[in-house]
C-alpha cells in the first residue's frame, strides 16, 4: 500500500520496479537525496535507514548502484532506492543530514567501492587499514589466497574450483 | 588554592581489552573520568565474507553465515537461506519451517545466555558466567545432536534442511524447556535485585528513542528504548505469524532495560519452542524440486535423471532468476538481513550482510557521552556486540 503511494509520488522522479514483493525505485544520482528526503518526510511516518550499500555491476554502464533500504516500522513496509553512479566520477550526495546511521554505512561503501559521498563529515576507511590500496568489493579487485609456507600447496581462488556459468534466461 | 588542572586527554581502550568481546578499539577523549568524545575503531576482524560469497555458488555459501556471527548460528543460516529462497520464489516444506523455528529459538536462548554470562564477567560476577555457559552447553549439545557440530553447523539447505531431526529430539528439547524457567528465574533472583548490578546498569548507557531510530538500531537496543519493532512480527518468516508470543519493551532505554528485555526474550523463546514442538508436522524436510535440492540417495541407484541432477547441482549449482531480494530475520542482535543480487548465473553478483551489531555499535558514542570510563564497559556489554558481525 505504502509502496503504491511511494510509486505515485515518485513515479515522475525515477523508475519503479517490483521483484518478489520488494519495491525498488531507481533514480539518477543527482536527485537521489531529494527522493530520499521526500520518502523520509512522507505523511505515513519517518522511515529508518536500515541499510546502505552498493553493487558493482561491471561491465554495465553506469557501473555502480548505491542502494538505500528504508523501513517503516509502524506500517510495516520497505522501499529500496537505487542511485546509479558512473565509475569515472564515483560520487553521490551524502545521506548523513537525513539519518545519522548513514555515517558508518557510507564510510563502508567508500572503503569497499571507492564511491565518494559529498558532504560526509568524516569520509575515511572503516574496515580496511588506512594505508590499504584499492577497494576490495570492486569486481576488478582480485580475490586471491595468501601464500602459506606449507609444502605442496598452491594458492588458488574459488573461481577455479567451480567456474561461473553464463546467466540462464 | 591553585585552580584544578583541567585538560582533555585522549586514551586508547583496546583493541585487546577484556571487555571488548572481540577486537574493538575505542579512542576516548577524557576530562578526568568523564568521556567527552568517543571514536570507535573497527575492522580488526574484517574477513571479506561478502567478497568471498561472490566467488562461490549459492550452496557453497551456506557455510559463511555461521562464521560471520558465531553466537546465534542457526538464525544466521536461516537469514541467508531465506534470502535465496525468496530469490528462487520457493517455500520449504512445513516440517522444515517448524524445525527452523525451534532451532532458531534455541539459538537465540544460547546467544542471550552468552550475553548474560559475559556481561556478568564484565561487571565482576563470575558465577553468572559459569551458570550461563553450563545452560548454553546443553543447548549446543542438542544442536550438535541435530547438525553434527556445536557451532558451525552448515545445516540448513536452500529449500529445507540437510537431514531430518534425529530420534529423541523432541523429548530432549522438552526436557530442557522444563528445566529452563527455573534457571532463568535463578538469574532473575541473582541479578535483578542485586544492588551492585542495578547501580551499575540503571540509568547507564541511555539511548533515547529518537537516537535509536536515527542510528538504525534494532533488536533489544531499539526495544529497550521503547520502540516496538521485531522482524518476527513486522515481516514474519518461517510461519512466525502463527505463534503466540510477546515482544517485551523497555521504558528508559538504559542498560538495565536491555537486561530485562533479554531475560524476557528467553522466556518468550521457550514459549515459541513449546508451541512449535506441539505442531511439528511429519513429512519431508527438504523441498521436492530437483533443480534446487539434491535428490535423495535412494533415487540415485534407480534413476539416471536423479544422477544427472545430482551432478549438475554439485558441479554447477543452482541458477536463480536475475533480480535482487532482501530478506531479514530477527537475530539476538537486531535485524540480520541478506541482500542478494543475482544475474541469473550460478554465483551471486553481490551478497550484502546487513548486521545489527554494526548499526548498534554506531550509537555507542551517544550512549556514553558524559559518562565515566567504567560505564563504557557496561555500555559495550549492553549492546551485546559480536565483532565478527560488525566487521564481517
B302-327 residue pLDDT tens:
889 999 999 988 888 899 999 999 99
Lookup: cell for B365: 558514542
Mark yes or no for CB contact A69/B326 under 8 Å: yes
Q: What pLDDT score was predicted for residue A156? A: 67
* pLDDT given for residue A146 in this prediction: 67
Cα separation of A21 and B236, whole Å?
14
The residues, ordered by sequence, that sit 6+ positions from B17 with a Cβ below 8 Å of its Cβ are B24
Q: Which residues contact B210 (CB under 8 A, 6 or more apart)?
A: none
* Residue A162 to chain B, least CA–CA distance (Å): 7
Contact B294, B57 (CB under 8 A): no
Record the cell numbers describing residue B2, joined without a space.
591553585
Q: At what angle do helices B126-147 and B169-187 cross, to 10 degrees?
A: 170
Contacts with B213 (C-beta within 8 Å, 6 or more apart), sequence order: A46, A48, B222, B227
Least Cα distance to B387 among B52, B118, B201 occurs for B118
* Tens digit of pLDDT at every position of chain B (392 positions): 666 667 888 888 877 766 667 788 889 888 888 888 889 898 888 888 998 898 888 998 999 998 888 888 899 999 999 999 999 999 999 999 999 999 999 999 999 999 998 888 888 888 888 899 999 999 999 999 999 888 888 899 998 998 889 999 999 999 999 999 999 999 998 888 888 888 888 888 899 999 999 999 999 999 999 999 999 999 999 989 999 999 999 888 899 999 999 999 999 999 999 999 999 998 898 998 888 888 888 888 888 999 999 998 888 889 999 999 999 999 999 899 999 999 988 899 999 999 988 999 999 999 988 888 888 888 888 888 888 888 88
**How far off is chain B from A1, nearest CA to CA, in Å?**
15
Whether the predicted interface score ipTM is above 0.90 = no
Beta-ladder partners of A48: A71
Strand-strand pairing, B160-161 and B156-157: antiparallel
**Would you say residue A1 has pLDDT above 60?**
no
In three-state secondary structure terms, A51 is strand
Written as nine digits, the cell of B52 is: 568471498
Q: Give the A-side interface with B, CB within 8 Å.
A: 19-20, 22, 24, 46, 48-51, 53, 55-57, 67, 69, 73, 76, 78, 80, 99-101, 103-105, 112, 125-129, 136-137, 141, 143, 157-159, 162, 164-169
Identify the pLDDT of residue A74.
Answer: 84
Percentages of chain A per state (helix, strand, coil), in multiples of 5: 20, 25, 50
DSSP state letter for B287: -
User: A65: part of which helix (H) or strand (E)?
Assistant: strand A64-72
Nearest to B308 by CA among B297, B320, B298, B300: B300
C-alpha triplet A21, A24, A25: angle, nearest 5°: 150
Residue B387: closest C-alpha in chain A: A127
Contact A162 B60 (CB under 8 A): yes
- In this structure, the number of other CB atoms found within 10 A of the CB of residue B270 comes to 20
**B102 - beta bridge partners?**
none
Grid coordinates given for A85: 553512479
B38, B49, B55, best to mutate vs chain A, most A CBs in 10 Å: B55
Amino acid at each position: 500500500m505504502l509502496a503504491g503511494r511511494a510509486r505515485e509520488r515518485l513515479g515522475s522522479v525515477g523508475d519503479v520496479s517490483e521483484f518478489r514483493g520488494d519495491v525498488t525505485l531507481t533514480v539518477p544520482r543527482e536527485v537521489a537525496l531529494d527522493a530520499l528526503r521526500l520518502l523520509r518526510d512522507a505523511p505515513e511516518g519517518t522511515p529508518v535507514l536500515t541499510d546502505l550499500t552498493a553493487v558493482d555491476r561491471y561491465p554495465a554502464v553506469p557501473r555502480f548502484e548505491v542502494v538505500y533500504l528504508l523501513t517503516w516500522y509502524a506500517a510495516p513496509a520497505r522501499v529500496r532506492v537505487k542511485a546509479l553512479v558512473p565509475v569515472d566520477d564515483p560520487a553521490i550526495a551524502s545521506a548523513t543530514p537525513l539519518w545519522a546511521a548513514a555515517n558508518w554505512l557510507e564510510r563502508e561503501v567508500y572503503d569497499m567501492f571507492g564511491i565518494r559521498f559529498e558532504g560526509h563529515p568524516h569520509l575515511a576507511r572503516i574496515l580496511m587499514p588506512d594505508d590499504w590500496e584499492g577497494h576490495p568489493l570492486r569486481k576488478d579487485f582480485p580475490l586471491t589466497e595468501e601464500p602459506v609456507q606449507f609444502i605442496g600447496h598452491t594458492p588458488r581462488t574459488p573461481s577455479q574450483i567451480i567456474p561461473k556459468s553464463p546467466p540462464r534466461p | 588554592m591553585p585552580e584544578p588542572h583541567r585538560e582533555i586527554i585522549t586514551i586508547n581502550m583496546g583493541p585487546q581489552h577484556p571487555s571488548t568481546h572481540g577486537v574493538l578499539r575505542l579512542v576516548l577523549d577524557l576530562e578526568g573520568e568523564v568521556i567527552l568524545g568517543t571514536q570507535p575503531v573497527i575492522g580488526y576482524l574484517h574477513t571479506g565474507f561478502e567478497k568471498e560469497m561472490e566467488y562461490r555458488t549459492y550452496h557453497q555459501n551456506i557455510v559463511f553465515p555461521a562464521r560471520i556471527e558465531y553466537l546465534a548460528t542457526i538464525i544466521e543460516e536461516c537469514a541467508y537461506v531465506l534470502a535465496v529462497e525468496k530469490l528462487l520464489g520457493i517455500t520449504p516444506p512445513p516440517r522444515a519451517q517448524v524445525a527452523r523455528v525451534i532451532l532458531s529459538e534455541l539459538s537465540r536462548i544460547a546467544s542471550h545466555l552468552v550475553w548474560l554470562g559475559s556481561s556478568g564477567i564484565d561487571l565482576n560476577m563470575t558465577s553468572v558466567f559459569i551458570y550461563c555457559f553450563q545452560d548454553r552447553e546443553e543447548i549446543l549439545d542438542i544442536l550438535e545432536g541435530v547438525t553434527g557440530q556445536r557451532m558451525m553447523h552448515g545445516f540448513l539447505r536452500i529449500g529445507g534442511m540437510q537431514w531430518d531431526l534425529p530420534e529423541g529430539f523432541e523429548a530432549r528439547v522438552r526436557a530442557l524447556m522444563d528445566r529452563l524457567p527455573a534457571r532463568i528465574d535463578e538469574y532473575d533472583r541473582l541479578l535483578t535485585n542485586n544492588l551492585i548490578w542495578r547501580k551499575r546498569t540503571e540509568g547507564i548507557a541511555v539511548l533515547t528513542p529518537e537516537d535509536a531510530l536515527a542510528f538504525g538500531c534494532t533488536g533489544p537496543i531499539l526495544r529497550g528504548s521503547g520502540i516496538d519493532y521485531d522482524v518476527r512480527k513486522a515481516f514474519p518468516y518461517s510461519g512466525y505469524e502463527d505463534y503466540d508470543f510477546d515482544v517485551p519493551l523497555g521504558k528508559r532505554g538504559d542498560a538495565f532495560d536491555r537486561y530485562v528485555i533479554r531475560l524476557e526474550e528467553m522466556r518468550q523463546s521457550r514459549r515459541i519452542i513449546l508451541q512449535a514442538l506441539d505442531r511439528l508436522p511429519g513429512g519431508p524436510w527438504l523441498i521436492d524440486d530437483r533443480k534446487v535440492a539434491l535428490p535423495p540417495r535412494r533415487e540415485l541407484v534407480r534413476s539416471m535423471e536423479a544422477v544427472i541432477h545430482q551432478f549438475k547441482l554439485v558441479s554447477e549449482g543452482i541458477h536463480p532468476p536475475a533480480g535482487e531480494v532482501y530478506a531479514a530475520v530477527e537475530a539476538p542482535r537486531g535485524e540480520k538481513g541478506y541482500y542478494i543480487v543475482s544475474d541469473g548465473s550460478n554465483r551471486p553478483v553481490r551478497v550484502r550482510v546487513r548486521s545489527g551489531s554494526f548499526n548498534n555499535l554506531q550509537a555507542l558514542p551517544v550512549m556514553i557521552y558524559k559518562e565515566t570510563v567504567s560505564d563504557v564497559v557496561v555500555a559495550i556489554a549492553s549492546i551485546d556486540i559480536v565483532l565478527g558481525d560488525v566487521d564481517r
